[in-house]
Amino acid sequence: MTGARLRAHGGITTILAMGEAGGDLNDIVQSFYFRPDEAGALRAFEDWLRSPGPDVIDLHVFTRMAMVSPAVRGAMQALRSRSPAVEVVLRGFADPDFPRVGDGPPAPHELDLLWIEFFITGDTAPLRRILGVLDEPDLSRARLTQWLRDTGTGFLGKRRFARFVPVFARCAIPVQFESMDVGGPLDVDLTVALSARAGMLKFDELPFPLTEAERLRIAAKSAAIWSLRQNARTHEPVAALCGAEATRPGGAGRLLLDQVR
């Protein structure tokens, strides 16, 4: 594989090794904020210039590096004649058309860009935006609660409810039929998403419909908690932030932050 190819998976950036010349770009990126390998970053950039692609994560990685490291930026400037892509990277966020994370709730693919910002700069502000996804409304709980109330506790309601008992049990959703409620504290969105990720559930098996937009927000919430927990294992600033935020007011998904170690 020629060129640095960075791909997003599940809200955490998975970066493929580039070969002997470029080294492991994953290591270079994830350690840049505390041990910048500027020489390795420049080798990776030169390798990418041989076949630059439109991947947004590529652009963000090298643009952030150029922003925080004068040495990297200076070396990149010397490569301007090699490719127009160099100017795109150097202009970066000064270009109004440069792709960036929007002001609204970040989509799953935007979480990767927030992780890149943290890995390169060490700034925890993007991590707080990822944490904020966990405070979004629990759409699945609201839909399930409404379904329970519509189903009722009568004879037909019990028969209808019984069809979904295996699904609730498989996903460990604490449905309380007699009270028409869902136990907690529990973020049902995360329970649904993590069950789906584990191959235990398909969205169509749920007793209530979810729009594509709702599924996207559930996927973002799942990606947020998964990436925070994974990165907290190897990045002390992430672990410290998760520990501090686990018990603060917000979405029930914050309780899972206390299990990052």
Structure tokens, 101: 């994370």
Average pLDDT over residues 126-155: 93
Q: Residue 176 has what DSSP assignment?
A: E
Please state the domain extents for the chain.
Answer: 6-123, 139-259
> pLDDT tens digit string along 46-97?
999 988 776 899 899 999 999 999 999 999 999 999 999 999 999 999 999 9
Environment class of 203 (CB within 10 Å of its CB; exposed 0-12, middle 13-18, buried 19+): middle
What are the angstrom distances between the C-alpha of 64 and each of 29, 90, 114, 118, 238? 10, 9, 11, 10, 19
Distance in angstroms (rounded) separating the CA atoms of residues 177 and 153: 7
pLDDT over 90 (residue 24): no
- Predicted confidence at residue 258, as pLDDT, reads 81
DSSP 213-248: HHHHHHHHHHHHHHHHHHHHTT-HHHHHHHHHHTTS
- Predicted confidence at residue 237, as pLDDT, reads 96
Closest CA to 193 of 139, 147, 257, 135: 139
How high is the mean pLDDT of the chain? 87
- Predicted confidence at residue 17, as pLDDT, reads 31
Structure tokens, 166: 């295996």
Q: Other CB atoms closer than 10 Å to residue 145's CB: what's the count?
A: 17
| Long-range CB contacts for residues 242-246, cutoff 8 Å, separation at least 24 | 245/131
**Strand spans (E) along 84-124:** none
pLDDT over 80 (residue 126): yes
Q: Percentage of the chain with pLDDT > 90? A: 72
173: left (phi over 0), alpha (psi -120 to 50) or beta: beta
Average pLDDT over residues 157-177: 92
pLDDT over 60 (residue 223): yes
pLDDT over 70 (residue 260): no
CB 166 within 8 A of CB 172: no
Peptide bond between residue 185 and the one before it cis (omega within 30 degrees of 0)? yes
pLDDT over 60 (residue 203): yes
Confidence (pTM): 0.86
Distance in angstroms (rounded) separating the CA atoms of residues 187 and 71: 45
Within a 13 Å sphere around the CA of 71, how many CA atoms are in the beta-carbon half? 8
Residue type, 8: A
CB 223 within 8 A of CB 11: yes
